[in-house]
Structure 1
């Protein structure tokens, strides 16, 4: 992870993102991003996306404010509701109530990040984040409720769908933003699953992504691009849709992918 992070920081990249699961062999993202932030100085660190409803909101507010403060304001907190019941069963959270849970959590996070007292009998909870009122906040998701959260609570929207399915999502995020009376426009981020390297690296990535999405078989179409031309096309496609950033989400273990991708985007 740290080798990957240092190579990314030395390249033309802007952000490092990590997924979040409970019942899966992945590193916990907030802990890992803290280590990555300590090993870097420039590149942003991002949860992509954090399963907010499986976490206690006060502790999450404190953890994310701490990471934002210690990284010098480099945290982007990407938030989603999750799609796998086993992650909720493992922590005793209600899967069916996950959307409502996120909606209830947001004012708590914002209140704590603002420095206001938590309640009548509880004072302010620190530390203050580096950015006033909290770290940059993105929402991921494919349903209308997710896009409404962008406008109500967030700074932008993260789309993990292929380019050809993203236009409507981006446009809806912008419409919800305007309807909520927000100034300017939401930050728009596209994500594409990629692998770049010899066949052994491609096979490693395919095995990893198949394992990750196995529990969603039949309900989620897995899409991954594997050539330089396909990756360039995805980047330009998202750019044409107005994306401010494109996350190239890598699935193979080989850190040399960072250098190959750096050469490609340069």
Structure 2
């Protein structure tokens, strides 16, 4: 299986200019990259000052590319209304011709205080419940059938979400989380991919792959499944592919990060292995 490659970076400071990112998207496709994923944050700790909205940037990128897989990586669903996200994801998937992937996770207040400074939920357990409930709403909305949902956090009373995404099964969902923690791995096994964060060695990915594979077998899940890893550009990707990775994403430090630094990696090419 081919290990697919994607540029992945924050929309901060120099990269907060949507026109710049749109040009990078077009260049990435021409250079042979398979995907473009962007961070989803409303703020970050100093010295970062500027941040762009990922959804508007991705919509613009979709219009200048034909093949590139795109998506937010990752969106903390607890600070987004699922009914609005249902409309956004379906619209963007149609605009891109079925190229959207939704990266989803709990998020953290650690790096930008974007929960505490905006009155959002701080408790991880509560946000986990909101995440799972949001995903349930999205899955139901993407079918095009009338959604009746009354949960602990959200209510959807008899609404159908049309048009549906371009793909009959809806938008693929990759779940981010720490490997070894049962809850995010169970969540990941219920969806379309797992993005284990803070890995230091391919053996950790192999262990996560085995665990998720077993959880999916227990649940009777079938079909293609993605295992995603972030790597510093220049890393030998072969051991990670052997451990089960299907995608690798460029791991950049958020500051200082310049357009030229991203473009330099872009021009070096994806270097995917088979």
TM-score (norm 2): 0.77
Local SS of the residue matching 1:122: strand
Higher RCO (Cα < 8 Å, 6 or more apart): 2
Structure 1 distance, partners of 2:40, 2:87, is: 18
> 1:140 deviation in Å?
0.6
> 1:156 deviation in Å?
1.1
Whether contact under 8 Å (1:88, 1:94) holds in the other structure is yes
Local SS of the residue matching 2:120: coil
Of 172, 180, 188, the match for 1:136: 172
Q: Give the total of aligned pairs.
A: 227
**Structure 2 partner of 1:156:** 193
**Structure 1 partner of 2:184:** 146
Whether contact under 8 Å (1:53, 1:81) holds in the other structure is yes
Q: Quick check: which one's helix share is greater?
A: 1
Per-residue deviation, residues 46-66 of structure 1 (Å, max 9, x unmatched): 211111111011001110111
**Matching of residue 257 in structure 1 with residue 250 in structure 2:** no
Local SS of the residue matching 2:114: helix
> 1:23 deviation in Å?
2.1
Of 110, 122, 138, the match for 2:139: 110
Instruction: Spell out the pairing of 1:13-92 with structure 2 (5 A cutoff).
Output: 13-24=33-44, 25-84=50-109, 86-92=113-119
Instruction: Spell out the pairing of 1:128-207 with structure 2 (5 A cutoff).
Output: 128-142=164-178, 143-152=181-190, 154-164=191-201, 165-184=204-223, 186-194=225-233
TM-score (norm 1): 0.79
CA RMSD of aligned residues (A): 2.0
1:55–1:9: structure 2 CA closer, same or farther, 3 Å change rule? same
Structure 1 distance, partners of 2:232, 2:51, is: 17
**Structure 2 partner of 1:98:** 127
> 1:3 deviation in Å?
2.1
Local SS of the residue matching 2:61: helix
- In structure 2, list runs of 5 or more residues that go unmatched: 1-20, 45-49, 149-155
Structure 2 distance, partners of 1:28, 1:82, is: 16
Per-residue deviation, residues 56-113 of structure 1 (Å, max 9, x unmatched): 1100111011100110000010101112162223443212111111111111111111
> 1:121 deviation in Å?
5.1
- In structure 1, list runs of 5 or more residues that go unmatched: 195-227
**Structure 2 partner of 1:223:** none
**Structure 1 partner of 2:159:** 123
> 1:114 deviation in Å?
0.6
Structure 2 distance, partners of 1:98, 1:37, is: 30
